Amino acid sequence: MKKTTLVIMAAGIGSRFGGGIKQLEPVGPSGEIIMDYSVYDAMEAGFDKVVFIIRKDLEKDFREIIGNRMDRIIETGYAFQELDDLPDGFEKPADRTKPWGTGQAILCCKDIVKEPFAVINADDYYGKEAFVKVHDYLVQEQPASDRMEFCMAGFQLGNTLSENGGVTRGICSVNEKQHLTKVTETKNIIKTEHGAAIQAEDGTLTPVEAECPVSMNMWGFTPEIFEVLEKGFGEFLQELPDPTKGEYLIPTIVDGLIQSKQANVTVLESKDKWFGVTYKEDKPTVVRSFQELIAAGVYKEKLFD
């Protein structure tokens, strides 16, 4: 069977989370963090290796809190996302503090990931179903085609909302072949008594179907994506109107590949409930959710014995 890798994007410090390193917050009864559960589910689904994308200045804390433990149970690698890691001919703008985005994050792995891989966010809990479906897709032989063949876990919007404020989600359009046709990055989606709605700055609400599929940045790629990202990153920097802002984002990149007919992206539906620490106030809900999963027998009290 093909080897597969799980790539975890963990380079960001969440500003809305109050400046703490939200990815390293313990949420399980034995001090587990969300990433522990993701790695556990990925290993159970059949992934052979995990690569953490972090910032160099987080490396010491990161290895102490999770990396050294992971080394003992699965092959582990590190890629470093830095603001000054730019293509030849480009320099980091002096006043740029915002990371370059998920596209650059994945590009950082090009020298250490040589096999089909899944990508997830460090601070999101995805549930078991999506890992199994993405892994099974990555190890299958895809039909011969002149397009790249990728996949995405599609979650129901209503299962991905925060009780504590608006969230950004990639709302997906899917055709009869279960191929993604468009991703619309949509900001400030809130939970309402009727399901979900987009809240404008003036407070107006536009209802959205709670069952519609959304991207939670859980993708399945082959190494072909690295060439696309490398070429695209230079073009993105060249055309950036304000060098202190703007991010090179996977949903936008994938959407471009779909519209230019360079890639098919199969949407794999998951009915699992997402949760994560978008806001500091989300943490008690996350802790309670893991307690409920443990009580239901989904996880052991001590995840890695």
**What pLDDT, on the 0 to 100 scale, is given for residue 20?**
54
**What pLDDT, on the 0 to 100 scale, is given for residue 34?**
92
CA-based R_g, the chain, Å: 19
SS3 category, 157? helix
- On the question of pLDDT at 18 being above 60, the answer is no
Our measurement of the distance from residue 131's CA atom to the centroid of its chain's CA atoms, rounded to an integer in Å, reads 12
**What pLDDT, on the 0 to 100 scale, is given for residue 277?**
76
- pLDDT tens digits along 191-237: 998 899 999 999 999 999 999 999 999 999 999 999 999 999 999 99
Q: What is the mean pLDDT of the chain?
A: 90
Question: Is residue 118 within 8 Å of 47, Cβ to Cβ?
Answer: yes
**What pLDDT, on the 0 to 100 scale, is given for residue 126?**
96
**What pLDDT, on the 0 to 100 scale, is given for residue 142?**
84
Q: Residue 21's pLDDT band (boundaries 50, 70, 90)?
A: low
Among residues 160, 176, 128, 154, the alpha carbon closest in space to that of 220 is found at 154
* Count of C-beta atoms within a 10 Å radius of residue 279: 19
Q: Residue 162's pLDDT band (boundaries 50, 70, 90)?
A: confident
Q: Residue 23's pLDDT band (boundaries 50, 70, 90)?
A: low
* Tokens standing for residue 31: 């001090």
**What pLDDT, on the 0 to 100 scale, is given for residue 17?**
40
Average pLDDT (274-300) is 89
Domains of the chain (ranges; CATH) run 5-295 (3.90.550.10)
- On the question of pLDDT at 4 being above 80, the answer is yes
Lowest mean pLDDT among 21-30, 246-255, 259-268: 21-30
Average pLDDT (184-195) is 90
**What pLDDT, on the 0 to 100 scale, is given for residue 22?**
59
Q: Alpha-carbon distance 79 to 54, whole Å?
A: 6
Strand (E) or helix (H) holding 284: helix 283-295
**What pLDDT, on the 0 to 100 scale, is given for residue 84?**
85
- E strand spans, the chain: 5-9, 49-54, 75-80, 117-121, 124-125, 148-156, 167-174, 180-192, 195-199, 205-208, 213-221, 263-270, 275-276
